[in-house]
Amino acid sequence: MQQFQQYIGGRFEDGSARFDSLNPATGTVWAQMPEARDADVDRAVQAAEDAFFGAEWASTTASQRGKLLMRLADLITEHAPRLAELETRDTGKIIRETSAQIAYVAEYYRYYGGLADKIEGAHLPIDKPDMEVWLRREPLGVVAAIVPWNSQLFLSAVKIGPALAAGCTVVLKASEEAPAPMLEFARIFDQAGFPPGVLNVITGGPNAGATLTSHAKVAHVAFTGGPETARHIVRNSAENLASTSLELGGKSPFIVFDDADLESAVNAQISGIFAATGQSCVAGSRLVISNKIKDEFLARLKERAEAVVIGAPDDMATEVGPLCTQAQRDLALDLIARSVDQGAKLVTGGSAISGAGYFFPPTILDCSDAPEAPCLSREFFGPVLSVVSFDTEAEALAIANDTRFGLASGVFTQSLTRAHRMIRGIRAGIVWVNTYRAVSPIAPFGGHGLSGHGREGGLQAALDYTKVKAVWLRTSDDPIPDPFVMR
């Protein structure tokens, strides 16, 4: 039984309470985690505020902040095998993916380390001859970062990296579903040389999220999760008028035209919906397929889906591991059953795998004759693909936009002009053309509608953790003329 601690003010502690964490591959308890209560949250926020206003962090130059982030990146690379092993054990994500993803997470900290001393202000060509005016970019203050269990090291990097580069301090709340990787990350962060309190890592408790997001000393809330929780967070943040960035769910369309390279499209669709066991906010969960190639494409897809290796997540041969929780598996079964009742046809999969753990097979539902099936509108967060077909480009675009989500999308076509029309017409924050599920620290990531607002990754994310201060300097030595007139 492994024991983990939370990280507050540069110290590791057990927390006010403890809870068990399950291994999704076996359904058994493997570790005990700290459970944050209101007092823990308040101490974490206070530690972050003390660090933000403290002389050590306030006097750290942008270049020095960058070097600390670079050091953190090196430590993540050094400890990547341990982080990958913990994430696999606590979440059920396959080791081949956690290993690759964590190696790339370090690149996000390197990117923001290099960006830290390039967050610039501006000189304004003001319309008054005796004035010099410039803009300073200053850090917002204490940031509350809340991440879910899936891809948590990545989802925290796109918050912690730009926030610290900008000079903010952070309280990160890890998901109570599987917090082990973030608690281990805190131990790695502690070695990087940041002042105490710059980053604090706590876990979920009965009221931890509400207490954190409504805290009077929190200036910004960065959240990844579901729309319903986001609504609560927005209401909570209103107490302090804190700004928010919300990266929420998706029901992303994966559009394949009849001129597409079918082999590439099939490979990308397999990755887009079955990689990470479908537990991805950008999962390409709606296949929008041309009727001209539908039968051939589905035949190839079915063959590939049924050949996917399902097994222990710590085996490098495994391609699909378990779902993280029993609740996810129950939701998948319920949505599939209701969709079939409404006319969806089961192409493959659809039944839970018996035995220990929360395993679920790659599943394909043909909803071409069931436009109201709930599988087309609800996010499964599992390896379930819903298929709908089209005849014309206009119909494909209408189907793609027939959702309240707007996070990601994919378009497969060899026509450059068609690709540009689809890019322009799709209402989503990300459009992948002839590829899918590609990310980079250089590119912004985020959505529209129920998929949230704000962007993570890229320069804009760092700017979003700053506020602009306008500075006016009068250069004339003459007395101010009429003091009752605004100049």
Catalytic-labelled residue, pool 281, 324, 367, 375: 281
Structure tokens at 310: 């399902």
- Element housing 411 (H / E): strand 410-412
Alpha helices in 259-367 (DSSP H): 262-274, 294-307, 326-341
Q: What's the DSSP call for residue 316?
A: T
Catalytic-labelled residue, pool 49, 247, 379, 456: 247
The two beta strands, 142-146 and 28-35, are: unpaired
Structure tokens at 64: 């020095």
Structure tokens at 193: 């040389």
Contact 160/169 with Cβ under 8 angstroms?
Answer: no
Task: Give the distance from CA 15 to its chain's centroid.
Answer: 26
Structure tokens at 421: 């029309």
Structure tokens at 322: 């378990």
Q: What are phi and psi of 390, to 5 degrees?
A: -145, 165
Residue 81 makes CB contacts below 8 A (sequence gap 6+) with 99
- Element housing 410 (H / E): strand 410-412
**Residue 221, strand partner residues:** 144, 244
- Element housing 158 (H / E): helix 152-166
- Residue 247 known to be catalytic: yes
Structure tokens at 423: 């890019």
**Residue 12, strand partner residues:** 7
Q: What is the set of active-site residues? A: 247, 281
